[in-house]
Amino acid sequence: MIAISNNLTVITSKMTKPSYCHSGSLGDIIYALPVCKHFGKGDFFVKLHSIEYTTTKYGYRPEHVSEVHRRQLTVEAFNNLAPLLESQPYINAVVSTDDSALEVMYDLDKFRGVMWRTFEGNYLESYFKTFNIPYTAQDIITPWLIASKTPISPIIVTRTFRYRNLNSEATWQKFTQIPNFSTLATFVGLDDEYEDFKQAFNVNISHYKPKDFLDLACVINAADHIISNQTFVYSLAQGLGKATSLECIPDRPLARNECYFPRPDNYYF
């Protein structure tokens, strides 16, 4: 069940089963889902337009909250995300709320008090540390998302304007020079990102526009390899256990990078 409510405080105060909430962003929510899988099936509340409130609550100054984050999470983003969340076996109802102070059994936003505060490393381990869940090598290789498969291309590519590394562009160029790359690969992302990618690397590949994020996950799950920078698509690829190549941000060592998952089928550049 997907629902929208403006005031859920009374409802959640009576809950005895697991319940979860998150303010975003989108990738942060995907990396938080193993916590739900660990504690058991429950309702998942998505707080709309609450990232600025949440981040300042955990010590970030307002000027450090990017304009992109201030715009999240929107109703449109929720509508795209909800089908994917609802399809996971450890989630019951998916509910959006405008109540920034909503209290539930497991407030997944609490990871912001751990990540880059007392811990630097991948998102998954930061959530486990936040909720005192043992983190093992098995967790690195175990997928936490399920999705069917919609075959589009063996290679799925995306590159957002944020989180780029200029030193990685030569590697991107090598990828686009793979024989038959233009027929093997499909781009997923916004129109302007797609046009920029084609122009930057002088390559003409197809562009797939998913109807929602469940559709996107199904396309990713059917692919053999995902090439991305540090963005939402990459979080889906990790959640599905796919082979990936990641353009890493340049200002953090790999071992301390929030998107570093040391699996043999993950490549970083």
Vertex 239: Cα angle to 235 and 243 (nearest 5): 85
- Of 135, 164, 183, the residue at which a domain comes to its end is 135
Shared domain check, 65 and 183: no
- What's the rounded Cα separation, in Å, for the pair 34 and 32? 6
Q: For residue 12, what pLDDT is reported?
A: 43
Q: Cβ neighbours of residue 260 under 8 Å, at least 6 residues apart?
A: 121, 122, 248, 254, 268
Count other C-beta atoms under 10 Å from residue 62's C-beta.
9
Q: Domain range for residue 162?
A: 155-268
Q: For residue 57, what pLDDT is reported?
A: 81
Shared domain check, 159 and 99: no
Structural domain contains residue 142: no
The closest alpha carbon to 150, from 101, 244, 223, belongs to 223
pLDDT tens per residue, range 136-146: 999 999 999 99
Shared domain check, 178 and 80: no
- What's the rounded Cα separation, in Å, for the pair 46 and 96? 5
Structural domain contains residue 42: yes
Q: For residue 268, what pLDDT is reported?
A: 98
The closest alpha carbon to 98, from 3, 14, 5, 1, belongs to 5
On the 0-12 / 13-18 / 19+ scale of CB atoms within 10 A, 84 is buried
Is 102 in a helix, a strand, or coil? coil
* Average pLDDT of the segment spanning 96-124: 95
Give yes or no for residue 6 having a pLDDT over 60: no
Grade residue 161 by pLDDT with cuts at 50, 70 and 90.
Answer: very high
Shared domain check, 128 and 6: yes
Sign of CA dihedral 245, 165, 209, 207: negative
CATH number of the domain encompassing residue 252: 3.40.50
Q: For residue 259, what pLDDT is reported?
A: 98
Structural domain contains residue 91: yes
Structural domain contains residue 147: no
Count of alpha carbons within 13 angstroms of residue 261, beta-carbon side: 30
* Average pLDDT of the segment spanning 37-54: 94
How long a stretch of residues is the chain? 269
Looking at per-residue confidence, does 6 or 3 come out higher? Answer: 3
Give yes or no for residue 159 having a pLDDT over 90: yes
* Average pLDDT of the segment spanning 94-107: 95
Shared domain check, 232 and 128: no
Grade residue 5 by pLDDT with cuts at 50, 70 and 90.
Answer: very low
**76's tokens:** 């449109």
Number of domains in the chain: 2
- What's the rounded Cα separation, in Å, for the pair 114 and 100? 20
Give yes or no for residue 69 having a pLDDT over 80: no
Is residue 44 within a helix (H) or strand (E), and if so which, with residue range? Answer: strand 42-47
Instruction: Note whether 56 and 70 are within 8 A (CB).
Output: no
Structural domain contains residue 150: no
* Window from 13-17, 107-111, 194-198 with minimum mean pLDDT: 13-17
* Average pLDDT of the segment spanning 55-74: 70
Structural domain contains residue 247: yes
Mean pLDDT of the chain: 92
